[in-house]
Amino acid sequence: MRETGSYKRLLLKISGEALAGEKKFGIDPKALEETAGIIASIHQEGYELGVVFGGGNLFRGRELMPLELDRVPRDHIGMLSTLINGVALQNKLTQKGIKTKALSAIDCPKVMESFTNDLAEEALSQGKVALFVGGTGNPYFTTDTAAALRASEIRADCLMKATKVDGVYTKDPLKYKDAERYEEISYRDMLNEKLEIMDATSVALLRTNQIPLFVFSMELLKKMKIQQILSDKRLGTLVKGD
């Protein structure tokens, strides 16, 4: 397994809420600009970069319960939300002169190509940012699992999960003041301790395929390079090993 400093190919997972801005819903112009700027600068650092977006700024299946729809259509709405985010981000990146390839897990040929591993590999080897949307294409999953799946498929050196908290904690740091952050933890311990930074399906997939996971704060990306973030153990949690 490579040292964090020598990572070349990254899969970045960004939750939809990064695009929501202060209104906490929809796509905020400033947040969109900022997120596209972050992706552009990671690409300019020289990494081969795949990005999986969430859709939580628009619709999450579980939050649509009041509509009294069944689970499958609720999750379809959630997955389609990630396509909307992808369309917006792809265009912003294009406007910035960044070459991209958007690939969807849900066939939507008038909008973008469908995901295949070959197309993803081709795009990454051509130096394009690969945008993976549509989640896994299946209900009952999350975009975290989609990120673990795509990271495994493209054989990423690391899955970088940019989130609200700056790492994996012994307990929820937003609720408990005495929560302590791990600098490093194994997948086994993360599962055993039921640390809920990612759902168990995504953790199991990463563990089986031995893809390291780095959990860090999205806020850091606004002021620091990925290279710096990865080389400083105080800036997140590295999950790896068995």
Considering beta carbons, is residue 77 or 119 the nearer one to ligand UDP? 77
Q: Beginning with the edge strand found earlier in the chain, give each strand of the sheet holding 100-104 in spatial order.
A: 113-114, 100-104, 129-133, 48-53, 9-14, 158-163, 213-217, 237-240, 184-186
Give Cα separations from 10 to 24, 50, 205 (angstroms): 27, 6, 16
With H, G, I as helix, E, B as strand and everything else as coil, classify residue 169: strand
142 binds ligand UDP (CB under 6 A): yes
For the chain, strand residue ranges (E) read 9-14, 48-53, 100-104, 113-114, 129-133, 158-163, 184-186, 213-217, 237-240
172 is in an annotated binding site: yes
86 binds ligand UDP (CB under 6 A): no
Helix (H) or strand (E) holding 44: helix 29-44
Tell me whether strands 129-133 and 48-53 are parallel, antiparallel or unpaired: parallel
163 is in an annotated binding site: yes
The conformation of residue 128, written as its DSSP 8-state character, comes to P
Considering beta carbons, is residue 4 or 92 the nearer one to ligand UDP? 92
9 is in an annotated binding site: no
Residue whose structure tokens are 């009041």: 66
Residue whose structure tokens are 């290279």: 227
How many chain residues bind ligand UDP (CB under 6 A)? 23
136 is in an annotated binding site: yes
C-alpha span between 129 and 126 (Å, rounded): 9
Q: Which stretch binds ligand UDP (CB under 6 A): 27-35, 73-81, 116-124, 178-186?
A: 73-81
Least distance (Å) from ligand UDP to the CB of residue 155?
Answer: 20
163 binds ligand UDP (CB under 6 A): no
Least distance (Å) from ligand UDP to the CB of residue 180?
Answer: 25
Q: What angle do CA 41, 45, 51 make, to 5 degrees?
A: 60
Considering beta carbons, is residue 50 or 78 the nearer one to ligand UDP? 78
28 binds ligand UDP (CB under 6 A): no
Least distance (Å) from ligand UDP to the CB of residue 86?
Answer: 12
| Number of residue whose CB is nearest ligand UDP | 54
Residue 153: how many CB atoms within 10 A of its CB? Answer: 17
60 binds ligand UDP (CB under 6 A): yes
Considering beta carbons, is residue 16 or 167 the nearer one to ligand UDP? 16
Q: Which residues bind ligand UDP (CB under 6 A)?
A: 15-17, 54-56, 60-62, 75, 78-79, 81, 135-136, 138-139, 141-146
Which residue positions form the known binding site for UMP? 55, 75, 136-143
Which residue positions form the known binding site? 13-16, 55-56, 60, 75, 136-143, 163, 169, 172
